[in-house]
Chain A
Amino acid sequence: GESVGLHLPTLSVQEGDNSIINCAYSNSASDYFIWYKQESGKGPQFIIDIRSNMDKRQGQRVTVLLNKTVKHLSLQIAATQPGDSAVYFCADVLSRGYQKVTFGTGTKLQVIP
């Protein structure tokens, strides 16, 4: 069946370094992809999204890259800060009347001060 999976369950990064969180998806018909950040005890928070007809999108300190050939998505966080520590989920979205959102299992980012 359809799935969205993350390569690494936990990622430890030194404060100030760049972080790269990877995600693989299986549904080639997805319309767009979203990265969410979930801090402990809170709901997921939207970070950035990218449409399937794009290969790169930049936000504030974050960049998402989409490689449709290998069905791979990555989130790059520049100059990682302690406040970036959280679980990051990628999700692929199929819009057919309602959104069919498939979430991955999440990668825990730990920032080492």
Chain B
Amino acid sequence: EADIYQTPRYLVIGTGKKITLECSQTMGHDKMYWYQQDPGMELHLIHYSYGVNSTEKGDLSSESTVSRIRTEHFPLTLESARPSHTSQYLCASSDPPGLASTDTQYFGPGTRLTVL
């Protein structure tokens, strides 16, 4: 089982608050990802990182920002939360594959965010 952690697991906050969702992995993976997922729906990539000091926006436009100062840590920040940000946020990490394997992403348990 992969060692990737997210905190908090659940968060209910009011509109306009600044929040940071934490994601940490202990596998030494270079690549990390943030996805947004509404209940029962597909995952949408919002940010990814190749490694330290590398961050890129994903396919889905997001008002969040990320940072990658350490390999194991990839926090996501919302400067001013709004009800439209209510969703589940999933963090994942992966490492370059060997010859016989694929570059599989391992997911954290997710943070369910509700903005009132």
Contact B42 A103 (CB under 8 A): yes
A42 partner, pick from B43, B106, B110, beta carbons under 8 A:
B110
The 0/1 profile, CB within 8 Å of B marked 1, for residues 74-100 of chain A is 000000000000010100010101110
Number of A-B contacts (CB under 8 A): 59
CB-defined contacts of A93 to chain B, threshold 8 Å: 102-103
Chain A contact residues: helix, strand, loop or mixed: strand
The answer to the question of B71 belonging to the interface, with a C-beta cut-off of 8 Å to chain A, is no
Contact A87 B50 (CB under 8 A): no
A106 partner, pick from B42, B90, B103, B106, beta carbons under 8 A:
B42
Q: Which A residue's beta carbon lies closest to that of B41?
A: A105
CB-defined contacts of B56 to chain A, threshold 8 Å: 98
Taking residues whose C-beta sits less than 8 angstroms from the other chain, chain B's interface range is 20 to 34
Residues A12-64 near B (CB distance < 8 A) = 31-32, 34, 36, 41-46, 49, 51
Contact A44 B104 (CB under 8 A): no
Instruction: Tell me how far the C-beta of B111 lies from the nearest C-beta in chain A, rounded to whole angstroms.
Output: 10
The answer to the question of A65 belonging to the interface, with a C-beta cut-off of 8 Å to chain B, is no
Q: How many residues of A contact B (CB 8 A)?
A: 26
Contact B107 A49 (CB under 8 A): no
The residue among A31, A43, A45, A98 with the most chain B CB atoms within 10 A of its own CB is: A43
Question: A interface vs B, CB < 8 Å?
Answer: 4, 31-32, 34, 36, 41-46, 49, 51, 87, 89, 93, 95, 97-99, 101, 103-106, 108
Question: B interface vs A, CB < 8 Å?
Answer: 6, 31, 40-45, 48, 50, 56, 90-92, 94, 102-110, 112
